[in-house]
Structure 1
Amino acid sequence: MAKITFNNNDNRFFQSLKSSVDAYFSDNNIKKTGDWRLFIKTFILIGMALACYLVLMLVTVNLLTAVLLSALFGYACACIGFSVMHDANHGSYSPNQKLNDFIGFIAANGLGASSYFWKQKHNIIHHTYTNVDGIDDDIAKSPIIRHCETQKWVPAHKIQHLYVPFVYALSSIFWIFIMDFTKYFSRKIFTTAAWKLTLKNHIIFWLTKAYYVAVFMVIPIMVWGWAGWLVGFLVANAVMGLTLSFVFQLAHVVENTEFEHIPLDETKHLETAWAEHQLKTTANFAMESKVVSWFVGGLNFQIEHHLFPKVSHVHYPALSKIVQEKCKEYNMPYHNNTTLMDAIASHLRVMKQLGKRPEIVVLRAQAA
């Protein structure tokens, strides 16, 4: 497996930042985990998803209403992933770790995904080796998408900025039916060996998939028939996939964020510290929008999240002021796209640029 190390000899920036953040919580006598705002949001989002599902299964509605409810269900599921599952599986939902594990399991496995694989893939690999091509599984999704310059170019990439939304729309289906099974049978998360599965883990994995098939396929087919189910299933997953994918891409694959590359079975030492690496590879967006923050679970503050993953997202707006101040003091980068649309446009521009044939890009750069 490839390995990357960071130069943490000069860690003054992060030590100073941590001290200021710790002081914020202690001075205000608040916990780093979620509070009433997160708990209320949990009930709203889960209630919204359950209501949509139950109406679709128990009430006779016309096709248009069914499509709209399916879309709303998919969106609610994505928001549950951002706000509830994400915080819980990071251990920041509650001070009670057993509650975190329970909520994280219900929120992830309840949507058909494996919280077990997600914790290693996201918490350990992505958060440590952010945007490192060769290790970070989050930028190794598909050969038809080129996320960074070190990834292989193919002619189809010329129009990837046009078709990536359609690929993103399929990402939740791909996650549940392909990515989880790939990890399970290969015992790898991209190039990293997966955690050893116990008998309990094996049973939970297969029960989760069986539950998903029963609840989101068999029962709806019995109610709506094959055609009706297929329309609702595709609509719900398209909305969920688009929402989940774009929010992630806006944090890491936009203009000014950086990437690293490490070939298989090699070791690479970065001259930057881990915290500086997070700043270089991550971007915020729509920081002033409380509406965006609420619906994306604070993941428009990805810089704060990557620096302090065990802090609940409800605290990110306050922490962002501290982080910006420290970045200015230590001359560190702080990337931000002012609005959601600015961030989406930036991502699509990057996709278009990465879609150009590498030799042509080099020649144009030399000519300039």
Structure 2
Amino acid sequence: MNELHSFGWYAARLKPYLPKKAFNPVPARLWGGLAYLLIVIGCLITIGMVEMSPLFYVPLSIVIGFSFASLGFLGHEILHGTVVRKPWLRDFLGAVAFWPLSTGPKLWRKWHNLSHHVHTQHEEEDPDSWPTFDRIKRSRLLCWVYKLPLPIRAFFSLCSLSFQFTVHSLNMFATYVKEFNPKKRPAVFFEMILPWMTWIGLLVWVGPVKWLFMFLIPLLIANVIVMAYISTNHRLNPTTEVNDPLANSLTVTVPKWVDVLHFNFSYHTEHHLFPGMSSKYYPLVKNLIKEKWPERYHEMRFDHALIALWKTPRPYYNSHGLIDPSNGNVYGTLGHGLQAQTIKEQLSTSLNKSKIEEMVVNPNKQFDK
């Protein structure tokens, strides 16, 4: 691939072609959030107050789950400062939007805005990057897991989407809470604990059966939707020492009505170029990128990206290759041989099974890549 450039390099070349209003906050996005909030409240009241067969709660539970996910997408936008700019109002509205996913605004801005966006796809600094094989081989448990056949791992990985965001959010809390100023840590704890207290209180109030449909099933659905996007954002891309969004990010395409419901969250390369811009204007950014650097831009249908994730292993062998530890096959990443329509070993297999086993037995030994 050609020389990498920082997101600032691209942004400086695109900004003159964008309207000035594109860089202003768009508070009208809150109307969509209000609609989702009212839908959630209405469904919760209906399940809580109306006695009927649990089967009748299923469609309401699904609607709540989809609304939870969409509120999360809006919360992501709010906490980037693209909806409102006043810090206290931004954090308050972001907390409300992220309430179903039980993620506090201070933690999210530290984890996502200040770490993930600054160090995207850096194998050590990005908290959301997938591990390299070097890191995996230090753990005998992970080595055993990754020696399972790829289809089995892919199946369990797909199932894990239903809880990945929640688990990762708790892990990020444990990782970053100690980095906050001691005076601010109580607020960070409060923002994490209060949503869970709300949902546990709901369990005590309505009982386990209704709670299952009011919170647990919707949370699993929301996790699947959110993680389906997040998993395709970067996991098919190479890791990069330079934070180049055209190299390390993927935009997925979905029907227009889905973009409306999900606040244009599919435009992920565009978001990494202009995280402080409302996603309302990302279609304009996309057109400009495709005019100026069509050979660099990565775009894939959402379903094709999910299939590609299923068919490719997750550990990075090097910055631009994915390795299947069960057989040593190495696959290319986007820009380095990966083609959505024909997923196969894009790079020549440079490791055989005996070398993989030797890596597991001798994790400290260095091997040529």
Q: TM-score range by the shorter chain?
A: 0.7 to 0.9
Measured at CA, do residues 98 and 11 of structure 1 come closer, stay the same or move farther in structure 2, by a change above 3 Å? closer
Match runs of 1:257-268 below 5 Å: 257-260=237-240
CA distance in 1, matches of 2:156, 2:196: 28
- Tell me the CA shift for residue 295 of structure 1: 2.8
Number of aligned positions between the proteins: 319
Match of 2:180 in 1: 195
Match of 1:303 in 2: 269
Which of 220, 227, 230 is the matching residue for 1:238? 220
Which of 107, 131, 147 is the matching residue for 2:97? 107
Counterpart residue identity of residue 279, structure 1: L
Measured at CA, do residues 164 and 313 of structure 1 come closer, stay the same or move farther in structure 2, by a change above 3 Å? same
* Cα deviations by residue, 1:185-233 (Å, 9 ceiling, x for unpaired): 6x2xxxxxx232425x40x34444453344212223332x234434654
Percent of residue pairs bearing the same amino acid type: 18
Q: Which is further off, 204-213 or 214-223?
A: 204-213
Which of 131, 140, 153 is the matching residue for 2:121? 131
Which of 247, 260, 265 is the matching residue for 2:229? 247
Match of 1:285 in 2: 252
CA distance in 1, matches of 2:211, 2:196: 12
Contact 1:85 1:107 in 2 (8 A): yes
Match of 2:157 in 1: 164
Match of 1:33 in 2: 25
Gaps of 5+ in 1: 1-5, 141-146, 188-193, 261-269
Measured at CA, do residues 105 and 9 of structure 1 come closer, stay the same or move farther in structure 2, by a change above 3 Å? closer
Gaps of 5+ in 2: 138-142, 316-321, 331-346, 353-369
- Tell me the CA shift for residue 166 of structure 1: 1.9
Q: Which protein is richer in helix relative to its size?
A: 1
CA distance in 1, matches of 2:7, 2:163: 43
Match of 2:201 in 1: 218
SS at match of 1:137: coil
SS at match of 2:227: helix
CA distance in 1, matches of 2:291, 2:323: 36
Measured at CA, do residues 98 and 215 of structure 1 come closer, stay the same or move farther in structure 2, by a change above 3 Å? closer
CA distance in 1, matches of 2:256, 2:58: 28
* Cα deviations by residue, 1:285-325 (Å, 9 ceiling, x for unpaired): 116x2122123321211011000000011111122111221
- Tell me the CA shift for residue 130 of structure 1: 0.9
Which of 167, 175, 185 is the matching residue for 1:174? 167
SS at match of 2:251: strand
TM-score using structure 2 length: 0.76
Contact 2:250 2:269 in 1 (8 A): yes
SS at match of 1:285: strand
Task: Name which structure has the greater RCO, CA cutoff 8 Å, separation 6+.
Answer: 1
Measured at CA, do residues 295 and 359 of structure 1 come closer, stay the same or move farther in structure 2, by a change above 3 Å? same
Q: CA RMSD in A?
A: 3.1
